[in-house]
Amino acid sequence: MGIDGYIGWPLSLRLLREGHEVTGMDNFYTRKRVREVNSDSALPIGSMKKRISDASSSGLGEIKFFRGDVSNSEKLHEVIKATEPEAVVHLAEQRSAPYSMLGLKQAKETMVKNIVSTINLVYEVKDQVPDCHILKLGTMGEYGTPNIDIPEGFFDIEYRGRKDHLPFPKNAGSWYHWTKVHDSNNLMFANRVWNISVTDVMQGVVYGTRTEEISDPDLYTRFDTDEVWGTALNRFCAQAVAGLPITPYGKGNQARGFLSLEDSVSCLALGISKPPKKGEYRVYNQFDEYYTVNHLAKTVQEVYGEETGKIAEIKHVENPRVEMEDHYYNPENQKLKDLGYRRKRELRQEISIILEDLSRYRDRILKHRDSIMPRTLWKA
């Protein structure tokens, strides 16, 4: 679910390569919303028909596709019935924090679409394929930035002399992030009452243009650069390539977990090939390392300078978000390593590849340059 997206497309290529049968579902929501802010993927991507045919010509295999909205329970019912999946990866949600903060319409749309899509999936699995593994994309942003270490989902607590092992408190920073918290609660509950097997992935911010399967431009995945749909490091790279200032928000001391697209896809594929036990609810914190926004901006500036001899300016802009700019941050990420995950891509190496790929599409980024600077204010 969400096969046309930034992560969904390369994940489906990886799963094909690993020998899985892959069926995708998407309603092209992200394409539509990105067009509405006068932007477009910086890397050109074809129609789903063309993408499937290119994946097939490259020898990776055949993808079946259903166009449809996963928050429409009848449509989802049809797709689950036709495919009887052993695992469903649920990536198909409104995934922009700024979009969810634009106003009531967008906040409601995010709440309804995201939470309903997950509850639809839970019921379809319970009723039609009870042994199916749900692998659901949440976000590290569910935890917020507490002043204590962040465990993977659960922690031991002692309060007024009594002890328990409880879900770690969530403290999200946008309506979007709160929908992911609600999804997590709903999945945890579905697991408790119906024994549904769930992997709930608290994913960091993903960066990159390539995975091992993306060998030529016909197989590119989307790459968003605008302030609503683009994410931090990817946008910094696009800004450098377009000759625009790199714009950390506020002081830039905010720390977050990050991982490359290659590493994200590897982790998700690993989660599928090593599913949870029947009736298990497991939570992974999925990121390689955590960095401050300033560190990322400086690293992009350095790599860009080394490769082009040009200087990319760093310009701090007023923080449009309501968030702590100086804070403690120490999340754990041991469980995926225990499952066998090893990081493949280093930050500088990946930035260099992103800059190289984007430099071929500088004109596409510049065409939409007005959509890059932040405008969506949390306090508006």
Ligand X SMILES: NC(=O)c1ccc[n+]([C@@H]2O[C@H](COP(=O)([O-])OP(=O)(O)OC[C@H]3O[C@@H](n4cnc5c(N)ncnc54)[C@H](O)[C@@H]3O)[C@@H](O)[C@H]2O)c1
- Asked whether the beta carbons of 233 and 287 are under 8 A apart, the reply is no
C-beta closer to ligand X: residue 203 or 243: 203
Listed ranges 85-93, 246-254, 295-303, 305-313: which one lies at the site for ligand X (CB under 6 A): 85-93
**Crossing angle between the packed helical segments 232-242 and 293-308, to the nearest 10 degrees:** 30
- Asked whether the beta carbons of 84 and 131 are under 8 A apart, the reply is no
The answer to whether residue 113 forms part of the interface with ligand X (CB under 6 A) is yes
Catalytic residue among 23, 30, 83, 139: 139
Query: What CA dihedral angle connects 25, 177, 10 and 281, to 10 degrees?
Result: -80
The answer to whether residue 26 forms part of the interface with ligand X (CB under 6 A) is yes
Q: Give the C-alpha distances (Å, rounded to integers) separating 333 from 27, 236, 267.
A: 32, 25, 12
Considering the complex, what minimum distance in angstroms separates the CB of residue 157 from ligand X?
Answer: 26
Amino acid type, 269:
A
Listed ranges 182-190, 200-208, 336-344, 347-355: which one lies at the site for ligand X (CB under 6 A): 200-208
The answer to whether residue 27 forms part of the interface with ligand X (CB under 6 A) is yes
C-beta closer to ligand X: residue 186 or 195: 186
C-beta closer to ligand X: residue 9 or 168: 9
Considering the complex, what minimum distance in angstroms separates the CB of residue 257 from ligand X?
Answer: 9
C-beta closer to ligand X: residue 70 or 297: 70
C-beta closer to ligand X: residue 27 or 191: 27
- Asked whether the beta carbons of 42 and 223 are under 8 A apart, the reply is yes
Catalytic residue among 180, 199, 292, 329: 180
Considering the complex, what minimum distance in angstroms separates the CB of residue 220 from ligand X?
Answer: 13
Q: Is 139 a catalytic residue?
A: yes
Listed ranges 142-150, 201-209, 307-315, 319-327: which one lies at the site for ligand X (CB under 6 A): 201-209
Q: Is 176 a catalytic residue?
A: yes
Query: Binding ligand X by CB under 6 A: which of 12, 23, 65, 93?
Result: 93
- Residue 347: how many CB atoms within 10 A of its CB? 20
The answer to whether residue 222 forms part of the interface with ligand X (CB under 6 A) is yes
Residue for token digits 């700024």?
98
* Of the candidates 346, 345, 261, 369, the residue with the CA atom closest to the CA atom of residue 6: 261
CA distance linking residue 304 with residue 299, whole number of Å: 8
* Of the candidates 133, 31, 116, 23, the residue with the CA atom closest to the CA atom of residue 78: 23
The answer to whether residue 269 forms part of the interface with ligand X (CB under 6 A) is no
Listed ranges 182-190, 198-206, 292-300, 313-321: which one lies at the site for ligand X (CB under 6 A): 198-206
The answer to whether residue 29 forms part of the interface with ligand X (CB under 6 A) is yes
Alpha helices in the chain (DSSP H): 8-17, 29-36, 48-57, 73-83, 97-100, 104-128, 175-194, 232-242, 261-273, 293-308, 335-339, 347-359, 362-367
Binding site for ligand X (CB under 6 A): 2, 4-8, 26-30, 69-71, 91-95, 113, 117, 137, 139, 203, 205-206, 222, 231
**Which residues participate in catalysis according to the annotation?**
139, 176, 180
